[in-house]
Structures are given as C-alpha cells and as structure tokens.
Amino acid sequence: MKSLIKFLKYSAAISATAMLGACCNVDDIRLEESCEIFQFENPNGWQKEVNADLLAEFEAEKAAMLSGEDRGCFFGTAYPYELYGTSKVYADTPKIFSAAVEIYTFTGGAHGNKECKGYNYVIGDGTAKPFALTDMFKDSAGWKAELYRLSIEAIKKKSPDAPFFEGQTPEENQKFISEFAISSDGITLIFPLYSISPYYAGIWKPFIERSKIEGMLSDKGKEIFDAAQ
C-alpha cells in the first residue's frame, strides 16, 4: 500500500535565527510549509530509498531557507517564507516507478520560484535503479531534436498563444530536455521556468505519445515502456 504525505505547518510553527548577510540580522524566520509528496507506506529496501529520494530536495530546500542560505531580496519578518511540495505518480508497476516532484519557494521579491524534477526507476531484484532519457533512445536517432519538435507541437496544440522566447534556436532549447516522467502510453517532458518561455508561462509539461517516438526507442526504452503497462 502507498500513501501521500500531507502536512501543513503555518508560519508560526517553524522559526530559526539566522544571519542573512553581513548587514542583516534576521530573527525568527517564519516558514509556511505544505508537503504533498508521494511516499510508499511501510517502505522496505528499494522503497525506502525511493521515499528518501522523493523528499530529499524538499528537505534540503527547507534546511537552506531556515539557515538563511536561500534568501530573497526582502529581509525581516514582513512576509513569511513559503515552501510547498507536490508530486504526481505517472507509473507504479512491479517493474517501473515514475513520478514528478514540484517544489515552490518564496523568500521575498516579486514572486516565488518553482522547480520540477522527474524520478524514474527500473525495479528488480529488490533494487530500484534510476534511468535517464539517454537510456531510452538510440544513440544516433537524433532523438533530442525530435523530442523538442514534438514538445513544441504538443504545447502549441494545447496553448496556441504560448509565449516562447524569441531568438533562441531549437538547438539551444534542446539542452533543457532532461527531466521527464514515463507512463504506459507515452512520456511527459518537463521544461523548467525561464527555459523556453517567460516566468508567467510556468513549467511546460508536454505529453508525447509512445507511437510518435517508437522508431527512436532503444531496446531498453521499449522494455521500460512495456514494463510500465
């Protein structure tokens, strides 16, 4: 059985004393925290490792915020810092686990910041081995360029007026193709904030059907999709 971590701690619940730069002493950092990240119940072996992976960035971000390492341009206690974590599971089978974790932070300024990361594992022999996009595609297939083309096609289909940055070449934008999540019928790519569009456009997560990339898949890639069924 599996569960979703759900807890909420309001600004008064967490405090710390920190030095935020040579001229700014900030007492009582107030942090409003909300975490909804998928976790396996009664984890054992590989499940415990995956649980730790899914929570690692959230906990690291919280530690940085409370220590003052991650600070915004506003100092003092006028605004509580904010830290929100959410997750979505894309595949959960005996052989494949795939999820994405999104973390929002606010430490002052005009707006907060969001990051999203994919966590993808092949399960077997009591272990969970991470796999990357490079494991799924043939070396010489030009797969990255095609994934970018299909991503833009999917984004424009859903949002015809999507505000892409001007002047960036497809080759420059292909470097952002690394984060992803897998499901039985396709792949969801994750383009970070400010990568191909302005902040207000958010994090793009275009879905690409397996049928559109079948010819570029390596044998391992095909096995991974099959195991996600």
CA distance 143 to 15: 48
For 143-192, write each residue's pLDDT tens digit. Answer: 888 998 899 899 889 888 888 776 667 776 777 788 999 999 999 999 88
CA distance 220 to 146: 19
Q: Is the pLDDT of residue 13 over 50?
A: no
Q: For 87, left (φ over 0), alpha (ψ -120 to 50), or beta?
A: beta
- Return the top range by mean pLDDT from 28-37, 105-114, 192-201, 219-228: 219-228
Determine the pLDDT at residue 37: 93
Greatest pairwise CA separation for the chain in angstroms? 59
Residue 112: CB atoms within 10 Å: 15
The H or E element that residue 146 is part of is helix 143-158
